């Protein structure tokens, strides 16, 4: 990763599920977030956990919804999500209901997420039993939300029909794994 | 648009308001559509879970990475150097062995946790100071921080300025800066109080050292909990 990447370029890479770019973002803001969180009374190990969850939530929004930040930077967005998670942690520990610390320039960003169902959790486990090619094609379609045409452009499949039939075979295989287990 | 495309576009949040309303309506009225939608959503969520798990593992590996190990080794090195410097002082100035030994056994260089030195963009302004600090060139770091502090009141930079002084064993000068910092609440308040306590230990002013440690206790600080307890018992 070149040091010259600006925020917009990084966002483009995050939308394309570029893991190297994500690692760069992770390392760039980690210490700053840990310092930022010191103003709230939360154990350092919990803060690191929160930071990781925040960065995952942010990344998944970039990947699955092709998020484009218009008015804020990656950092402001990330810290906003992190702040929301810090408050959630404080609330869990019932230390406070709401606290606002002076000089806190970040606005909370809440990312709505339902608790996963039992089916979804089992499916997630079964994904690891698929072949790499099946996992990749299903990932591109269901996680990255690429259209069939976009998948053709990005992979070695010769046309849309091949992608469709391969995807459907993989899905069928996954369903079999799901039922067997 | 096929049903499948409609569902994917809905989940990817790229439908017009009218199409979104259409999907919402279908979800309420068409059970076959709802089943297909739920199956698609289950796949999307399953991938999110699985991706999140592997990312979490990756981050944990990154945290254990060579960078941290390097920091650990260099911390020991700093500790060794600091111990030697302190022992040198002991022989030169005939100060009390117990206070010097106590100081040396608890002192370690405050690591740079404020600003990564290899970053881009807006962070470059402070880079020279932190690069010098991380390389153990505390005289250069002192000068660089001094220059930065001419144009900013950032207490975090003042903290690293004070640390640069302390790491050169300029105890009195460092103490002055830490005492200024101890008046305010900032990111390194706990660290600042800890190093103030150590300087008081060095100066054999155990009452004041204890007072700093008590302040840290009163804050329920999680910084160096074990060391603070042990030092307090040693005093």
Q: What is the pLDDT of residue A110?
A: 82
What kind of fold does domain A7-92 have according to CATH?
Rna Polymerase Sigma Factor; Chain: A (1.10.1740)
Residue of chain B minimizing CA distance to A128: B50
Report the percent of chain A where pLDDT is more than 70: 92
CB contact B184 to A (< 8 Å): no
* B189-217 residue pLDDT tens: 999 999 999 999 988 888 999 999 999 99
Report the 3 state secondary structure along chain A: CCCCCCHHHHHHHHHCCCHHHHHHHHHHHHHHHHHHHCCCCCCHHHHHHHHHHHHHHHHHHHHHHCCCCCCCCHHHHHHHHHHHHHHHHHHHCCCCCCCCCCCCCCCCCCCCCCCCCHHHHHHHHHHCCCCHHHHHHHHHHHHCCCCHHHHHHHCCCCCHHHHHHHHHHHHHHHHHHHHHC
Of B12, B50, B62, the CB nearest to A66: B12
Between CA B167 and CA B188 the distance in angstroms is 16
Of A90-99, A120-129, B126-135, B207-216, the least confident: A90-99
Residue B97 has pLDDT above 70, yes or no: no
User: Residue B49 — pLDDT band, cuts 50, 70, 90?
Assistant: very high
What percent of chain B stands above pLDDT 90? Answer: 43
Specify the pLDDT at position A179: 80
Query: Residue A90 pLDDT > 90, yes or no?
Result: no
Cβ within 8 Å, pair A124-B46: yes
Nearest residue of chain B to residue A149 (CA atoms): B5
Query: What are the residue boundaries of the structural domains of chain B, listed by start?
Result: 3-64, 66-234
Q: Retrieve residue A38's tokens.
A: 């010191």
Would the pLDDT of A133 be above 80?
A: yes
**From the CA of B18, how many Å to the nearest CA of chain A?**
18
**Structure tokens given for B92:** 């030169």
On the question of pLDDT at A1 being above 50, the answer is no
- Residues 27-56 of chain B with CB under 8 A from chain A are 40, 42-53, 55-56
Is some CB atom of chain A closer than 8 A to the CB atom of B218?
Answer: no
Q: Note the pLDDT of residue B68.
A: 45
Residue A43 burial (CB < 10 Å; 0-12/13-18/19+)? exposed
**Average pLDDT rounded to a whole number, residues B115-144:** 77
Please tell me the predicted confidence (pLDDT) of residue B121: 47
- pLDDT value for B29: 96
CB within 8 Å: A27 and B62: yes
Measured distance CA(B8)–CA(A162) in Å, rounded: 19
Confidence of residue A103 (pLDDT cuts 50, 70, 90): low
Question: B11 contacts in A (CB within 8 Å)?
Answer: 64, 145
Tens digit of each residue's pLDDT (9 = 90 or more) over B100-119 = 888 888 898 898 888 777 65
Whether the CB of B114 is below 8 Å from some CB of chain A: the reply is yes
Say yes or no for a CB contact (<8 Å) between A3 and B113: no
Under CATH, which number does the domain A118-180 receive? 1.10.10
As a whole number of Å, the CA-based R_g of chain B is 27
Report the pLDDT averaged over residues A134-144.
Answer: 95
The highest-level CATH class for domain B66-234 is: mainly alpha
Q: Give the CA distances from residue B85 to residues A4, A163, B78, B82, in Å, rounded to whole numbers and listed in that order.
A: 41, 68, 10, 5
Contacts of residue B63 in chain A, CB cutoff 8 Å?
A: 48
The pLDDT score that the predictor gives to residue A96 is 58
d(CA B154, CA A15): 35
Given an 8 Å threshold on Cβ–Cβ distance, is A123 in contact with B43?
yes
Do B59 and A52 make contact, defined as CB atoms within 8 angstroms?
A: yes
pLDDT tens digits for range A39-75: 888 888 899 999 999 999 999 999 998 899 988 899 9
Q: How confident is the model at residue B77 (pLDDT cuts 50, 70, 90)?
A: low
- SS3 string of chain B? CCHHHHHHHHHCCCCCHHHHHHHHHHHHHCHHHHHHHHHHHHHHHHHHHHHHHHHHHHHHHHHHCHHHHHHHHHHHHHHHHHHHHHHHHHHHHCCCHHHHHHHHHHCCCCCCCCCCCCCCHHHHHHHHHHHHHHCCCHHHHHHHHHHHCCCCCCHHHHHHHHHHHHHCCCHHHHHHHHHHHCCCCCCCHHHHHHHHHHHHHHCCCHHHHHHHHHHHHHCCCCCCHHHHHHHHHHC
Q: Across the interface, do B5 and A147 touch by the CB < 8 Å criterion? A: yes
- Residue from B212, B221, B211, B196 nearest B107 by CA: B196
The CATH 1.10.10 portion of chain A extends over: 118-180
pLDDT at B69 over 50: no
Output the pLDDT for position A97: 53
| C-alpha span between B235 and B233 (Å, rounded) | 6
- Check B113 against A35: CB less than 8 A apart: yes
């Amino acid at each position: 990763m070149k040091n010259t990447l600006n925020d917009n370029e990084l966002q483009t890479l995050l939308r394309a599920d570029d893991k190297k770019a994500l690692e760069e973002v992770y390392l760039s803001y980690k210490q700053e977030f840990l310092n930022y969180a010191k103003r709230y009374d939360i154990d350092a190990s919990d803060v690191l956990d929160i930071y990781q969850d925040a960065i995952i939530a942010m990344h998944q929004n970039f990947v699955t919804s092709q998020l484009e930040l218009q008015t804020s930077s990656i950092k402001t967005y990330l810290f906003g999500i992190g702040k929301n998670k810090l408050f959630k942690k404080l609330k869990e520990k019932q230390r406070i209901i709401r606290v606002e610390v002076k000089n806190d320039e970040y606005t909370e960003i809440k990312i709505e997420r339902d608790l996963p169902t039992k089916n979804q959790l089992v499916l997630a486990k079964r994904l690891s039993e698929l072949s790499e090619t099946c996992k990749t094609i299903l990932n591109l379609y269901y996680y990255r939300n690429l259209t069939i045409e976009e998948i053709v452009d990005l992979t070695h499949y010769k046309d849309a029909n091949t992608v469709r039939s391969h995807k459907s075979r993989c899905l069928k295989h996954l369903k079999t794994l799901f039922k067997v287990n | 648009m096929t049903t499948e495309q409609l569902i994917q576009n809905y989940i990817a949040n790229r439908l017009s308001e009218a199409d979104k309303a259409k999907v919402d309506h279908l979800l309420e009225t068409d059970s076959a559509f709802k089943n297909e939608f739920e199956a698609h959503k289950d796949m999307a969520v399953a991938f999110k879970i699985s991706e999140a798990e592997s990312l979490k593992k990756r981050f944990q590996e990154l945290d254990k990475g060579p960078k941290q190990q390097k920091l650990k080794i260099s911390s020991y090195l700093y500790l060794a150097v600091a111990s030697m410097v302190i022992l040198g002082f002991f022989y030169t100035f005939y100060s009390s062995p117990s206070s010097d030994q106590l100081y040396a056994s608890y002192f370690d260089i405050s690591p740079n946790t404020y600003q990564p030195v290899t970053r881009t963009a807006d962070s470059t302004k402070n880079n020279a100071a932190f690069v010098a600090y991380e390389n153990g060139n505390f005289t250069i770091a002192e000068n660089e921080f001094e220059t930065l502090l001419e144009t900013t009141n950032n207490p975090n930079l003042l903290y690293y300025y004070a640390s640069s002084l302390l790491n050169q064993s300029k105890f009195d000068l460092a103490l002055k800066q830490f005492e200024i910092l101890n008046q305010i609440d900032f990111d390194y308040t706990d660290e600042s109080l800890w190093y103030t306590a150590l300087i008081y230990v060095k100066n054999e002013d155990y009452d004041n050292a204890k007072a700093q440690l008590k302040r840290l206790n009163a804050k329920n600080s999680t910084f160096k909990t074990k060391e603070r307890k042990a030092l307090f018992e040693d005093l």
